[in-house]
Structure 1
Amino acid sequence: MASGLEEAWSRLTLTEDEEQVIVCDEDESEERIEQIALYLWGKLLTDNYFNPGVLKAVLKNIWKPTPGAYSVLPLKQTVEFSKVLGSQLGIFLSCNEANLYCGADKSMNFQVELDITKSLRRGIRMVVRGKTLWIRLGYVKLPDFCYGCGKLGHVLKGCDAVGDTDSDVSALQYGEWLRASLVKSKKK
């Protein structure tokens, strides 16, 4: 598996937009640091065997966090940071603060107006606290798009940029993994 992943990574070609590295300010507010300090951590006290994976699945089902793990640090899960990320993709429209789960799964949801003549961005390279991170992007309600060039409006069979569509599917630069689903929080 590891060699397959390394091989796929070596075939990945970043677009000009994806090559850009954004340097992020380190201006975490004291209020945000206090919010993170109030996370709920727990320990299961039992002498009986239990399956940690099942426990995690049950807690996720109860708490219903946003799906996906997109590498956004908990201190950066703010409306301001979503504006920074959104402005890298297009025109930032909105971010629902209720969807910022304080690091439950390292994801954020925000709306942006995209230029559909460009390829979809698969991620954003960002330097935070001296570390370069790849923040993976996922798109909600994404229509059909080309797995070869990443543009909306056609699929792989109609793509002039890729040419032969009978080529190895694993060599394609885009895929179904760009689709993200949005779980709406329960109304009280």
Structure 2
Amino acid sequence: MTWRIEDFIEKFISFGESQFEGSWEAYMKIRVCMEVGKHLKVGTTLRKGKRVGHHVGFKYEKLPSFCFVCGVIGHADRFCPLTYECENTVLEKSYGWDSK
């Protein structure tokens, strides 16, 4: 599956082979290089051939200031340009703590 996930990220670096044991069997930790100005992806659907797709959720570690409104690294929620554009509107946060 790793090669399929690589299609959705900037640059694949490595993954943890030793994680495929016990309760960690359903998880894969990968290391990637990404452009920080782009929106972080919440997940994707992987398909093998014509089979039904399987949703894979992405989680991120060691992120600097991160905006839970727009998903961009580099500013916090209260400094998000979207909050200034929509001053009288309550914006739903697209990202949660489980993403970070």
Pair in the same fold by TM > 0.5: yes
Q: Secondary structure at the match of 2:90?
A: coil
Conservation of the 8 A alpha-carbon contact between 2:16 and 2:28: no
Report the CA distance shift for 1:121/1:106 in structure 2 as closer, same or farther (over 3 A).
Answer: same
Partner of 1:116: 36
Instruction: Return 5+ residue gaps in structure 1 as ranges.
Output: 1-80, 180-188
- The percentage of counterpart residues that share the same residue type is 22
Partner of 1:6: none
Instruction: Return 5+ residue gaps in structure 2 as ranges.
Output: none
Partner of 1:153: 74
How does the TM-score come out when normalised to structure 2?
0.80
Q: Secondary structure at the match of 1:92?
A: strand
Question: Mapping of 1:104-183 within 5 angstroms?
Answer: 104-128=24-48, 130-163=51-84, 164=87, 167=90, 171-179=92-100
The alpha carbon displacement at 1:114 in A equals: 0.7
C-alpha separation in 1, matches of 2:35 and 2:57 = 19
Post-superposition Cα deviations, 1:23-44, rounded to whole Å, max 9, x if no partner, equal xxxxxxxxxxxxxxxxxxxxxx
Q: Secondary structure at the match of 1:86?
A: helix
* Structure whose residues are more often helix by fraction: 1
Q: Secondary structure at the match of 2:64?
A: coil
Partner of 1:97: 17
Counterpart of 2:35, as a letter, is: D
| Higher relative contact order structure (alpha carbons within 8 Å, sequence separation ≥ 6) | 1
Please tell me whether Structure 1 or Structure 2 has the larger radius of gyration of its CA atoms: 1
Report the CA distance shift for 1:83/1:137 in structure 2 as closer, same or farther (over 3 A).
Answer: same
How does the TM-score come out when normalised to structure 1?
0.46
C-alpha separation in 1, matches of 2:52 and 2:20 = 23
Q: Secondary structure at the match of 2:47?
A: strand
How many residues are paired up?
97
The alpha carbon displacement at 1:158 in A equals: 0.7
Counterpart of 2:18, as a letter, is: A
C-alpha separation in 1, matches of 2:72 and 2:38 = 6
Partner of 2:8: 88
